[in-house]
Amino acid sequence: MTEKSIFESGNLFKELFDNISSGVAIYEVFNDGEDFIFKEFNKSGEKINNLKRDDIIGKSITEVFPGVKELGLFEVFQRVWKTGNAEIHPTSMYRDERITLWVHNYVFKLPSGNIVAIFDDITENKKIEKALETSVEEYRLLVENAQSAILYLGLDYKISSWNKAAVEIYGWEKSEAIGKTIDEVIPVEFIYETREEVEKVFFEKGVWKGEIIQYHKNGTPINILSASIIIQDDDGNPKGMVTINHDITERHMAQQKFNDSELRFKSIFKNSPIAITLYDSNGKLVDANKATLDLINVDDVDQVRGFDILDDPNMPRDIKTRILKGETVKFEVPYDFDKVEESLRAGRTGVLYFDAIISPIYSEDRESVKYYLNQVNNITERRLGEKRLEESEERFRKIFEEGPLGMAIIKLDDSSLSKVNTMLCTMLGYTENELTALKIQDITHPEDSDKNMELIGQIVRGDISFFTLEKRYFKKNNEILWGNLTSSIIRDKEGNPLYGLGMIEDISERKNAEQKLKESEQNLKKSQKELLIRNQISKIFLTILDDEMYAEVLDIILKALKSHYGVFGYIDEDGSSVCPSMTRNIYDKCQMENKTIVFPRETWGGIWATSIIEKRTICSNGPFNFPKGHVLLSSALVVPIILQDECLGHILVGNKEEGYNKEDIDLLESITDWTAPILHARLKRKIAEEKLRKLNEELELRVERRTKELEESQRDYRNFLQNFEGIAFHGDLDFNFTFIQGSFELITGYKPEEILSGAIKWNQIMIPQDKEKFINKIKQFREIPNTHFQHEYQIKCKDNTIKWVNEIVRNISDESGKPFMVQGAIYDITEQKKFDEILKESEEKFRSITEQSLMGIMIIQNGEIKYVNGAFSIINEYSVQEMLDWPQNGFIKIVHPDDVEFVIEQAKKNQSGSKDVVINYQSRIISKTGKTRWLESFSKTIIYHGGFADFITVIDITESKLAEQKLTESEEKFRKAYYQANLYRDVFAHDLNNILQNINSSAELSSLYLNNPEKLHTVKELNEITNEQVKRGQKLIDNVRKITEIDESEIQLDKVKIGRHLEKAIEILKTSYQTREINVQVNDNAKKKNVRANGLLLDVFENLLMNAVVHNENPKIEIFIDITMEDMENKKFIKMEFKDNGIGISDFRKKSIFEKGIRKDKRSKGMGLGLSLVKKIMDSYHGKIWVENKVKGDSSKGSNFIVLIPTA
């Protein structure tokens, strides 16, 4: 229950207690009913008994009223306390040395066990009853117009008199009731006594008064306070009886509300889930509810009673200062029980987080604080949860933002990059915004894209949990970056894929090193091969004659280029192409006529002729168009032998199985380049020896240069291997290493000599579970050429530590294609593995916290939702992906229109890093299906991807909001009903009672003066008083009716001229008070103006004018009405000031004068409802009313009532 509802309930009880016209005393039972102690005593009780409340509180009833036992009331108290049944103590005269009065008591027991006595001083009523006993007939007219039902009954209980009030109370017309017995019309049920007991007392004493139940004609029960007396004839014999019956049903309802109010307040206090404590004005604990006792781990409030909240070491100093100033303070505090005295904390230790509200409860005069009300909510779990969430988010952010690897979160539907870290941006040369606008395919080399997407499909389907892939990426400047990609899928708790996570290690340096190594090896092999061929050809040229030389050279070339057919020809002095080294199988298989090995220039044709003529290499892998009978070729490579731009001949090879490639072309061109001068020397025999010498010198020089280049290349290769951070190795097919370079000892702890000597083998330092896979790989390396693979496994180092390594290895084949050795590289990836594990654990914790949380969680940066969990998706009915796809500030579309301005302002403050941000607030959203949902949000500015972002957690509080709304509506209905009940009770119990008493008094005096001619003018004045009281009663009823209509119906407003209603009100005033001198002046500057009002405007003017007369003791009443125009809050009003020269209104009463049910002071002659009605009407007009002193600073010089009415 909220603080508001607690105070409203208590205020209702206080207002009812203080303003009831009857005296009310509340007693606490002492010593099992031996005595009764005053606990409360209201103002009416003080007036009736001429006592002061503070003088009797805490004293016993026998001490204050020594005659109470003789009166018989003490016995009634004891019976009511024991039985719980309410009783009426008959009207009796109480007398002691201090006071004498007739009193009527109604006694009942509260649920708390306290005894309540409601009593009335009916001394004046006794006088009226006496007068009625002596002159019933003379008061018939008075009886007929009385507000109580007055019945005359015969001794046979037949009704002979039935007044108007009886008709109103019981519903029976006079003609229906006269002549019938009372039991036939309104049978009587006695509540506390039997009929026989009542009749015995009545006929013995001649009078009886008590509470009964009778029934309306429609069957509705009515609570009646009945007073009956016996009427005697002149001889003193009973001739009939008069019964005065007063409807007290409203009083009974008020009593029930009285009980309900106390029960409700106690129930709220005891059963509230919020810890509620009450402290006295000195800060000492008075009471605490069960929630408080549970919170501090005690069983009984007595264990902590007297605890001083103002001396609490956990109370912040500024909060104490504000409490002592009388402020209502709301604050959060970490409460350390270890700081509190052991006797007051009942063993509770540690720190809890509290959300507290401390409010002062003022005394009746609001001059001092009586109590402090403290409401505490334990928010420890929420605070700890927020702290854990912050720590998890910070860990995840640190890993993601500051990790050494490039990282990206990938949308699975379109493979776009949802989020990237700074390292990845640095690696690829993009800004974050540029990179998140791309997809994986946009930055992936086309040759690697299909494999990448295939692997992503496998982990999405669940075929594999993750994959590692070496692939090429395009940088922003189009350069290639080699990356080692490790990718996995983040799934929700049902196993559905949410997004992909990629970690990229830049391995460009290693790849470049491997490429250089490969190129170096290729160059080495190529150089070795070329050198071998040249040496063989040189030997042939030097040792074999021309006729055999061409064929021997061609055989070497055919073997090197794996070709079936070939031709080695030269150009003779006649320009003919001579082919002495044409392979015999070509010549033998050729079926053309006139076969020859000499081709004159005019007969040239085909690709070899084109090659010679155009002096260029021609390579073709078919198809060819050959003449019939020609040997068929599937592929051919022709290189002209050129020296100094002179074509000396050509070499043609054909029918290589896999076709010819650039390596073949380079090799054959190298051979022809090297062969050209030798051939030229052969052909030019005249200078053969000289040219041969020069050629030999040139050959030696080239060999020397090539050898030097080769040595430099090998030296660079060795330097690279010596500084290599991994392990480069060569070995046989059993992985017995024959060559090791790099960081072998650093990684394994073993010296290279230990493994090269065979003292240990590589598979001996592998952990057992990885050896089986290793053995399977060895089988593949033995049997399958060009086998290569990459795998990760663990090794046991020399110091017994375990390390993870990544091995890349391939086999090398000999010229026959059979594998004969392996070579590769091994890298230490232990730290990477640890990082991967930390990243996985952190991501799992983050995912678990966010995705399993019942709170909605999201991160908004630059108006975009960067992260959102499933709980928020459930709340607003949009999928997570839909929210992530919203454009900048797209989230605004779900914010309730009334909250948009506030939410946008908060977002701007978060983006700027402002500290002036509301951390905790409530707002509304519109869900995807159009439902309005209330959210309680916790917002915090964080650093996200290097910029400010809004980290928001939300809780759906729609149900509690609806419940709160229903509770507020229910309480509002209860408040209105209670106010109306209190209003009616106040009116009928006090005002109408005063009116009736005035009428009765006038009637009594009239009866005394009727037979005295000298007093007839006085009888006339008394009759005018009676008429005035009747009008007063009618006006009172009319005001009650209008207040009720305003409360219960919608007021329709029209255009109304104020002048017409004001003139009518002044006319009514002067007619109503013809005996008083009244002067009303009106400043009519705006009297003709129109306002937005209705017919009730007349009641406003009439009540304000009558108030100026009723509260005015001057012989001449002066009223001045000033009407002007007023602009306020961009609206136009008619301002009317009603200034009088009456008794004025004190500053204290100015605050409450317009409230319903508030009584006037002792000088008041009004009814207490006129100004309440005026306030109600002005509120319905959207106008205003207040009261000021006519003379500033002096309230005794008259009042100035100011009214603002909106213009039409």
Each residue's pLDDT tens digit, 1101-1136: 988 998 899 889 899 999 999 999 898 888 899 999
Q: What is the pLDDT of residue 1158?
A: 42
The total of structural domains in the chain comes to 9
Residue 171: pLDDT band by 50, 70, 90 thresholds? very high
Q: Quick one: 677 and 627 in the same domain?
A: yes
Q: Quick one: 700 and 728 in the same domain?
A: no
Q: Is residue 513 part of a domain?
A: no
Q: Quick one: 824 and 930 in the same domain?
A: no
Q: Quick one: 1194 and 1067 in the same domain?
A: yes
Q: Quick one: 586 and 665 in the same domain?
A: yes
Q: Quick one: 595 and 644 in the same domain?
A: yes
Q: Is residue 655 part of a domain?
A: yes
698-747 per-position pLDDT tens digit: 767 776 776 676 666 566 656 655 667 788 888 888 888 888 888 888 88
Residue 192: pLDDT band by 50, 70, 90 thresholds? confident
Q: Which domain holds residue 249?
A: 123-256
Q: What is the pLDDT of residue 1167?
A: 40
Residue 1052 reports pLDDT greater than 50: yes
Residue 1160: pLDDT band by 50, 70, 90 thresholds? very low
Q: Quick one: 128 and 234 in the same domain?
A: yes
Q: What is the pLDDT of residue 485?
A: 92
Last residue of a domain, one of 652, 682, 712: 712
More confident residue, 750 or 232: 750
Q: Which residue has the tokens 């599937």?
A: 634
Q: Quick one: 1056 and 1171 in the same domain?
A: yes
Residue 1164 reports pLDDT greater than 70: no
Q: Quick one: 982 and 1070 in the same domain?
A: no
Q: Is residue 963 part of a domain?
A: no
Amino acid type, 527 = S
373 touches 391 (CB < 8 A): no
Pairing of strands 856-861, 727-731: unpaired
Mean pLDDT of the chain: 82
Q: Which among 655, 597, 646 has a CA at the least distance from the CA of 626? A: 655
Write out the H or E segment, with its range, that includes residue 1041.
helix 1016-1048
Residue 1049 reports pLDDT greater than 80: no
Q: Is residue 266 part of a domain?
A: no
More confident residue, 1020 or 1127: 1127
1145 touches 1198 (CB < 8 A): no
Give how far Cα 236 sits from Cα of 232, 244, 501, 672, Å.
Answer: 5, 22, 113, 168
Residue 629 reports pLDDT greater than 60: no
Amino acid type, 945 = H
State yes or no: cis peptide before 623, omega within 30 of 0: yes
Residue 20 reports pLDDT greater than 50: yes
Residue 686 reports pLDDT greater than 50: no
Last residue of a domain, one of 194, 222, 256: 256
Q: Is residue 115 part of a domain?
A: yes
Write out the H or E segment, with its range, that includes residue 960.
helix 958-986
Q: Is residue 816 part of a domain?
A: yes
Q: What is the pLDDT of residue 971?
A: 67
Q: Quick one: 130 and 225 in the same domain?
A: yes
Give how far Cα 406 sits from Cα of 393, 447, 473, Å.
Answer: 19, 21, 12
Q: pTM, whole model, 2 decimals? A: 0.30
What is the CATH classification number for the domain harbouring 1072? 3.30.565.10
Exposed, middle or buried: residue 49 (CB in 10 Å: 0-12, 13-18, 19+)?
buried
Q: What is the pLDDT of residue 983?
A: 54
Q: How far apart are CA 985 and CA 106, in angstroms?
A: 16
Q: What is the pLDDT of residue 78?
A: 92
What is the CATH classification number for the domain harbouring 896? 3.30.450.20
346-374 per-position pLDDT tens digit: 677 888 888 999 999 888 777 888 899 99
Last residue of a domain, one of 97, 121, 145: 121
- DSSP conformation letters of 1146-1189: -HHHHTTTTSTTPPP-TT--S-S-HHHHHHHHHHHTT-EEEEEE
Least confident residue range of 488-492, 871-875, 939-943, 986-990: 986-990
Q: Is residue 265 part of a domain?
A: no
Q: Quick one: 218 and 326 in the same domain?
A: no
Q: How far apart are CA 545 and CA 893, in angstroms?
A: 96
Q: Which among 303, 298, 287 has a CA at the least distance from the CA of 347? A: 298
Q: Is residue 995 part of a domain?
A: yes
Q: Quick one: 1034 and 1098 in the same domain?
A: no
Q: Which residue has the tokens 């008094």?
A: 1001
